Chains A and B, each alone.
Chain A
Amino acid sequence: MKGKQMKAAIWSACLLSALFLLNGCTQKPETTQHSQSNENKITLRILSVEQTEKPEGPAEKELADQYMAEHPNIKIEFIGVPYNELYKKVTALATGGDLPDAFFNTPEFMRIANRMNAAADLTSLLGKDYIAEFYPNMINEASVDGKLQFLPWFATPQALIYRGDWFEKEGLGAPETWDDFLKAALKLTKDTNGDGTTDQWGFGMIGTRNSSGAARFIPFLRTFGVDEITKDRNGKWITELHTPQAKEAFQFYADLNNKHGVVPPGTLENGFPEVANLMANNKVAMIISGPNAIGTITSQNPNLKGKLYSAPLPKKERHSATFGLFGYSIAESSKHKNETADFLKFLVKKENSLKFNAISGRLPTKIEVGKDQQLSSPEFAGFVKAIEYAFPTPDFDSYSQFNDIVTEAYQLMISKAATTDEAINKAAARANELISKQK
């Protein structure tokens, strides 16, 4: 009995061992394959402003999904950050040594990022032949000391967006000068329902004290022939914020609200989302913004498709615009620079740039794409024209502080907390203090 039990146990053990072995043999290749595919899969982390905006975010995600379908070994993970928080986030991540593979960058911030050694030199990574496919002035705008800091993905030059249908109805043309602009704004500020209160305004002013307000005001200021900061003949930095032209510009801006009443209530708290919302709700006739505003407004109110026209900013002395250039830097610390570069190249491919433009209104940066018919519609023609007047961002280290300097000045005037002279003298004093600290 004992012997039989022993035999059964031995046979059972042999059978089990055989089963395990067989199972092991059949399972092994699969497991290896699986672990290999996991090992080969590369995850690209991308810090994106677009992910916090609509319709840009879903459009960018769709492009990433398309790229991942074409490249099964790549996984793209977006980290969303609002534009007004971008610089802080990049600084915090760089300080913590946790920068993702690519991060959103702008000409205002790229010098700071460059000093932190945060961005890789894209000139050597992408090659000069490839870079030559882009508008040269945009490449200059995205470079520091001849090194490309970020691949320009799209431009959002500031221009005038106006209700083409209302202008046509009133027999108005696109404003060429600020006088034309004021006439149109006065004509389009009205009580449309006859209840005795104004419910439609000529100009949706963005009066917040942040980069959004400054992005509108600085090109406006330049149309009066004023450079907030520039170099004199000797190459020394100077500001023109104390000049009579500057005074005239600030006064005109404040008067739109305080004297002419062509601006809706809440000027100083109205940022881009509020003003875009007002335009989408047929409350304002004109705003100063980039082409992305068209996508934002029409996504809120599809009835406005084809009714929003664009024109370069009206002039006093000259037309002016910022490039409003945005793109991605590849982090110096990234272990997947080539793979990230390949994805960035995919984003700016002709078909993808045009697709993104159609959804978001943002202008492409490659010469070949810029010639496309899609960009000659009344919606975009003004923006394309505005790029001709775009000025390069001054390569002054603390340039981003000028955003606060000019926006503080117009807030002081609009709120009547200071006279024009007090406001511009304070602005000039702050600018001169910055200049004196510049090494």
Chain B
Amino acid sequence: MKELSGKTHISGYLFVLPSIVTLMLLVTYPLLYGMYISFFNTNLLNQWDFVGFSHYGDIFGNLEFLQRIFVTLKFTVLTVGGHFVIGLGLAILLNRKLPGQTLFRAILILPWLLPEVVVGLLWKWLLNPMYGLTNHYLFKFNLISAPVSWLSNVDVAFWAVVVVCIWKGFPMLMLMVLAGLQTISEDLYEAAKIDGCTGVQSFRFITLPGLLPVLLVSLILDTVWWFKHFTVVWLLTQGGPANETNIVSIDIYKSAFEFFEFGKAAAMAVIVLFVCTLIGYVYRRMLNHDND
């Protein structure tokens, strides 16, 4: 019996070994290597000057980095908020037995299927002040009298970027919520109806609690994803105009690949990792009542 348990023990380790090795190679090693780089002034080839925590000191001593974090948080909150409002609303609509439901599901998922580069370039042209369709229709309906520079104007550029990112990301949330909605038993709604529940009360006491696990996972994934987002913002504004959309991932990218300060870029990335971990922890604490 003892022998059998020993064999099971070893075979258990053998079964998880490929996963552990893969995780070590693809996740743990790059993570630790990134942290290691953050202690050096390096060109990653033949220059490795140990500088200790000086990059971290520089970053936290610089008000601009903290401003970037603030811009990034603002961007993330608005984008994720937009995803939740639109995603949840559409998921509830699509969960009803309406004509053309399948067609709408297929259409509404399109933004998520398009690659981020395509979305960035597509919207850059749509928002182009001279040739863009947005200004064309606004002119046509006499809503503007002069072309609006959506991505050059400090008053609107940030909002334009948020709108594009909401458009790109809402289908993911819509799908998650839709899947969650379909797991809630119809019996509960029928019972609530018999008990005299209104639609709002059904939503508050049946739908929301039933969706909570899905919402928690979606919220964490979506927040972390958009907090470290880069592609769409870079393609639309490159962080401009005048730092208005300069989120932290753009700073990291520029430090590494435009200024060749790989150590500093790695230090910033480590800080972002901690922020993302903190966000996940806070969400879990706030929303996971089962563990309380």
- Chain A min CB distance to B271 (Å): 20
What chain B residues lie within 8 Å of A268 (beta carbons)? 149, 151-152, 240-242
In Å, the complex CA distance between A416 and B47 comes to: 41
Asked whether any CB of chain B lies closer than 8 Å to the CB of A347, the reply is no
- Chain B min CB distance to A333 (Å): 11
List residues of B (189-247) whose CB comes within 8 Å of A's CBs. 237-244
What chain A residues lie within 8 Å of B149 (beta carbons)? 265-269
Size of B's binding interface in residues, CB under 8 A: 29
- For A247-271 the 0/1 string (1 means CB < 8 A from B) is 0000000000000000011111100
Tell me if A400 and B45 are in contact (CB < 8 A).
no
- Chain A min CB distance to B280 (Å): 30
Interface majority SS (helix, strand, loop, mixed), chain B: loop
What chain B residues lie within 8 Å of A87 (beta carbons)? 257-258, 260
Tell me if B154 and A417 are in contact (CB < 8 A).
yes
Tell me if B238 and A208 are in contact (CB < 8 A).
yes
Q: Which residue of chain A has the shortest Cβ distance to B257 in the bound complex? A: A88
Tell me if A418 and B242 are in contact (CB < 8 A).
yes
Asked whether any CB of chain A lies closer than 8 Å to the CB of B133, the reply is no
In Å, the complex CA distance between A417 and B246 comes to: 14
Asked whether any CB of chain B lies closer than 8 Å to the CB of A17, the reply is no
Give the residue of A269, A278, A403 whose beta carbon is less than 8 angstroms from that of B151. A269
In Å, the complex CA distance between A283 and B128 comes to: 15
What chain B residues lie within 8 Å of A116 (beta carbons)? 43, 45-46
Tell me if B128 and A266 are in contact (CB < 8 A).
yes
Asked whether any CB of chain A lies closer than 8 Å to the CB of B34, the reply is no
In Å, the complex CA distance between A88 and B262 comes to: 11
Asked whether any CB of chain B lies closer than 8 Å to the CB of A404, the reply is yes
Give the residue of A95, A283, A401, A415 whose beta carbon is less than 8 angstroms from that of B152. A415
List residues of A (151-201) whose CB comes within 8 Å of B's CBs. 197
Asked whether any CB of chain A lies closer than 8 Å to the CB of B92, the reply is no
List residues of B (121-173) whose CB comes within 8 Å of A's CBs. 124, 128-130, 146-147, 149, 151-154
Tell me if A400 and B258 are in contact (CB < 8 A).
yes
What chain B residues lie within 8 Å of A88 (beta carbons)? 257-258
What chain A residues lie within 8 Å of B237 (beta carbons)? 269
9 interchain pairs, CB-CB under 8 A: A88-B257, A264-B129, A264-B130, A265-B129, A266-B147, A266-B149, A268-B149, A269-B128, A278-B130
Given A87-B260, A266-B152, 11 additional A-B pairs, CB 8 A: A87-B257, A91-B257, A91-B260, A117-B45, A197-B146, A266-B147, A268-B240, A269-B241, A398-B259, A400-B260, A408-B242
